[in-house]
Homo-oligomer: A and B are copies of this chain.
Amino acid sequence: MTQHGTQQPPSTESTAPAPAAIERHRADGLLAFCEAALGAAGADADTAAAASRAMLHGSRFGVDSHGVRLLDHYVTVIAGGRVKGAPDLRFHQGAAAVATLDADHGHGARAAYAAMDLAMEKASLYGIGAVAIRNSSHFGAAGAYALEAAENGFIGLAFCNSDSFVRLHGGAERFHGTNPIAMGVPVRDEDPWLLDMATSAIPYNRVLLYRSLGQALPPEVASDAVGHDTTDPHAVDMLAPLGAAFGFKGAALAGVVEVFSAVLAGARLSFDIAPMGGPDFATPRNVGAFVMALKPGAFVTEMEFDVAMKRYRDTLRASCPAPGDMVMAPGDREWTVAAQRQMEGIPIDPATAEAFDRIATRFALPRPRPVS
């Protein structure tokens, strides 16, 4: 969900660009609708606020797979009982600078924002703080929590595991989840540096995009049901780890995320997690996650950090591009999309628009109205 050159399609980790006729909405209207719908489905105020905020992160930055498209799913899992609408979050503090959060099967965003709040508090006191999260659920875009830290002046990291969908290097069955790595770094008076990447070669919604466009996939990004590489998006049964011929690196990075999010948290391992898409929406899944915050001023002076970070990113942006190509820093694409959507509104795909209709009717809520 990060920077890329121009040689590949424009939305690397997001869904297809919206056609001209699509609905566009203001962020505040979407936020209010999401909160009201989640509340009506059984979420307490903190859960509704956290889940809605995380969805708007996705919608704002162009990560539409993790945007308000998820509202329908979240309503289903809260109403169905898989996700507890009013969880009793419990922190276990085994040492001063770390904690484990038992999320009581609440919403992943509720848990992750609370965990990052505690990680930042610990980083303020000890220079670094980390919280492992168990008994959680889908938390949306990992970048939301990394950004939360960066906007508060901390370096923030966020990981999570998820149900198996990515094979190992040399493997022929689903093993890891798409296990994302997110990191945010504050840059004084500027937008943060922001990385949010799956450790799979591509995200699954990219496969769906190629499928709907009737195009062949790039080689070495996905496999069929027996583990053979395939470029046919209809034949895809699992994703490849990042790195193609060097996929042992992507698989190992997925392992880094798995160790932090599941092993260290006491959460379920990816291959033990029930599928996000059901059919069971009543049983908790015990997804894991991990967040960490570091206080730059505990290592160097804030001024040293600010000067170096700005110089690092400025120099990166000015690095000589290949002919016909361009270079971008992590997050640059997202900030550009956010500025554009701030002006033009957030595009809502037809399936999500139709879900809004259903949800509004079901809970007798005013359906959000597109901008003119």
B-side contacts of A197, CB under 8 Å: 249, 252
Question: Is the CB of A242 closer than 8 A to any CB of chain B?
Answer: yes
The verdict on A248 contacting B4 (CB below 8 Å), with A183-B256, A296-B264 known, is yes
Secondary structure of the A side of the interface? mixed
Contact of A246 among B6, B12, B167 (CB under 8 A): B12
Give the residue name and chain of the B residue nearest to A309 (CB): B263
A125 to B296 alpha-carbon distance, docked (Å):
21
Question: Is the CB of A130 closer than 8 A to any CB of chain B?
Answer: yes
B-side contacts of A128, CB under 8 Å: 95, 97-98, 128-130
Interfacial residues of chain A within 248-277, with CB under 8 A of chain B in the complex: 248-249, 251-253, 255-256, 258-259, 262-266, 269, 271
**Contacting pair A321 B171 (CB below 8 A):** yes
B-side contacts of A247, CB under 8 Å: 4-5
**Contacting pair B320 A255 (CB below 8 A):** no
The verdict on A263 contacting B312 (CB below 8 Å), with A3-B248, A195-B256, A319-B175 known, is yes
Contact of A248 among B2, B168, B245 (CB under 8 A): B2
Proximity bits, A1-41, B CB within 8 Å = 1, else 0: 01111111000100000000000000000000000000000
The verdict on A195 contacting B95 (CB below 8 Å), with A4-B248, A127-B130 known, is no
Instruction: Determine how close the nearest CB of chain B comes to the CB of A162; give it in whole angstroms.
Output: 15
Question: Is the CB of A202 closer than 8 A to any CB of chain B?
Answer: yes
B-side contacts of A127, CB under 8 Å: 94-98, 130
Which of A44-52, A300-308, A338-346 binds B?
A300-308
Question: Is the CB of A170 closer than 8 A to any CB of chain B?
Answer: yes
**Contacting pair A264 B294 (CB below 8 A):** yes
Instruction: Determine how close the nearest CB of chain B comes to the CB of A70; give it in whole angstroms.
Output: 23
B-side contacts of A309, CB under 8 Å: 259, 263
Give the residue name and chain of the B residue nearest to A175 (CB): B319
A185 to B259 alpha-carbon distance, docked (Å):
8
Tally of contact residues, A, Cβ under 8 A: 92
**Contacting pair B98 A96 (CB below 8 A):** no
Contact of A155 among B253, B259, B320, B323 (CB under 8 A): B259
Contact of A299 among B172, B256, B264 (CB under 8 A): B264
Interfacial residues of chain A within 169-210, with CB under 8 A of chain B in the complex: 169-173, 175, 181, 183, 185, 193, 195, 197, 201-202
Instruction: Determine how close the nearest CB of chain B comes to the CB of A315; give it in whole angstroms.
Output: 6
Question: Is the CB of A297 closer than 8 A to any CB of chain B?
Answer: yes
**Contacting pair B4 A330 (CB below 8 A):** no
B-side contacts of A155, CB under 8 Å: 259, 264
Instruction: Determine how close the nearest CB of chain B comes to the CB of A203; give it in whole angstroms.
Output: 10
A312 to B246 alpha-carbon distance, docked (Å):
22
Question: Is the CB of A82 closer than 8 A to any CB of chain B?
Answer: no
**Contacting pair B321 A172 (CB below 8 A):** yes
